[in-house]
Chains A and B, each alone.
Chain A
Amino acid sequence: MTEYVVLLPGDESQWAQASQADKEAMYAVHRRFAQALEERGHKVTGGSELASSREAKVLRTDAEGNHTITDGPYAETVEQLTGFYTVQSDDLDDLLEVCKILGRAEGAIEVRAAVSGASS
């Protein structure tokens, strides 16, 4: 099994303006996604919904080891990371098929393999 990270970038302003019903519909799509993964032999090993990028702080370190801390996300882009899943799978093509369930709710979905043994 390979560990994959499913990154969920999105336009946060749309989410901020979404009604409670819209948000419930979104969470329902995520539940269907999780259910489909399980049914098709993929295993969700982690995941989270991130707070708004407005709440992010970025720590930058220069070559001399000097630190600076700024408010806001690292990239000034419309699409910001809004959440992620980690999924164990031995079938990337099928994982991508299941990710299309999320595609109805999420603008873009990036799937990338994790590198084992480097995390801790």
Chain B
Amino acid sequence: MAEEGHFDRWEAASQEQQQAFFDGLAAFTAAVRERGTLLLGEALARPERAVTLRGGTATPGPYAETAEQVGGFYLVDLPTQEAAVEAARLLRIPSVEVRPILEVVG
């Protein structure tokens, strides 16, 4: 998840701060690969760049008017949800939601 102001702070962050964030991602993906499989990972563009469809009408912006927005996600195959939460501790991200998935397509 991306907290309020995340995208502004990211763009204003020093190279050192951005590197620390990427180091967190690298530590996370390494931990996942030790115990399972990294299936997919995406970082999303700013929510202002989103388009949301409701009832066939497209409007600019994300679907939720919440301070926290989806900033990116990983799809990982690990033995337990706890293992995924443990790996997520390595991410230098203020909030991370970890949820099982029912089915993978594509």
Contacts and interface: CB of A to CB of B under 8 A. Distances in A.
Interface residues of B, number: 53
Contacts of A114: 42-45
Interface string B9-46: 00000000000001001100100000000111111110
A56 B53 contact: no
Given A51-B102, A113-B49, A57 B42 contact: no
Interface secondary structure of A, over-half rule: strand
A119 B66 contact: no
Interface of B: 1, 22, 25-26, 29, 38-45, 47, 49-56, 58, 62-64, 66, 68, 70, 72-75, 81, 85, 88-89, 91-106
Q: When A and B form their complex, which 4 residue pairs have the shortest distance between CB atoms, in order from nearest? A: A119-B41, A118-B43, A112-B50, A51-B100
Interface of A: 3, 5, 7, 9, 34, 44-51, 53, 55-62, 67, 69, 73-75, 77, 79, 81, 84-86, 92, 96, 99-100, 103, 107-115, 118-120
